[in-house]
Amino acid sequence: MKRVLLGAFVLALLLPGRAEAGRYAIGVEPGASLNAVAAEVARVSCGRVTMELAPMRALLVTAPGVRGVARIAGVSYVERVTSRRSLSFAPKDPLAPRQWYLGYTKAFEAWPEPPSLAAVRVAIVDSGIDADHPEFAGRIAGAQTFVGGSARVDEHGHGTFVAGVIAANLNDQGIAGIAFPAQL
């Protein structure tokens, strides 16, 4: 039996006399041909397949509407793709807007506010870490050097930079770490 995921936005699209242009995720049932379903979805929706997500057995489609797509053989679900940007929190760290990779990876788009996450341990094998840096206050769980000197002193700065990208505190200063509660 076909499964159709119906949020309020998709339900409005499937009601008689209603159609809305947009982007849709179309699930493809196991055993069904992605190419065959893509061709039929494009024909029925008068849209175009913009991406095949083969590992997830899904298609991303831009179309005027999706009326009739759920009845295509091999389709397991139809879901409108909407931006979650309005739901996401933005770190207040002053340099976060310059961290291009946060937007590229959609690092914070899953949460409307900073989540309470477990503090996983992350090992940084690099030039050391500035143990006195405010971004890592109370979060350096251990440090060991394999080349002499102190692992808690970073004469080159690279290890501190890498640790910051990974785990800088959300503390309204400097940058925002992607895994901000991590222990180093």
**136-182: per-residue pLDDT in tens?**
998 999 988 888 889 999 999 999 999 999 999 999 999 999 988 89
Domains and CATH numbers, the chain: 8-81 (3.30.70.80), 87-184 (no CATH)
- What's the confidence (pLDDT) of residue 130? 94
Query: The whole model's pTM is what?
Result: 0.54
Distance CA(166)–CA(172), nearest Å, equals 16
Closest CA to 163 of 144, 179, 142, 147: 179
Q: Which long-range contacts (CB under 8 A, 24 or more apart) does 93-101 make?
A: 93/168, 93/170, 93/171, 93/172, 93/173, 93/174, 93/175, 93/176, 94/172, 94/173, 94/174, 95/174, 95/175, 95/176, 96/175, 96/176, 99/165, 99/175, 99/176, 101/165, 101/178
pLDDT more than 90, % of the chain: 35
The region of weakest confidence among 14-18, 56-60, 144-148, 171-175 is 14-18
Provide the strand spans (E) within the chain.
22-28, 48-53, 58-63, 75-81
Vertex 106: Cα angle to 101 and 109 (nearest 5): 140
- pLDDT over 60 at 16, yes or no: no
Mean pLDDT is highest, among 46-50, 74-78, 99-103, 164-168, for: 164-168
Secondary structure class of 78 (helix, strand, coil): strand
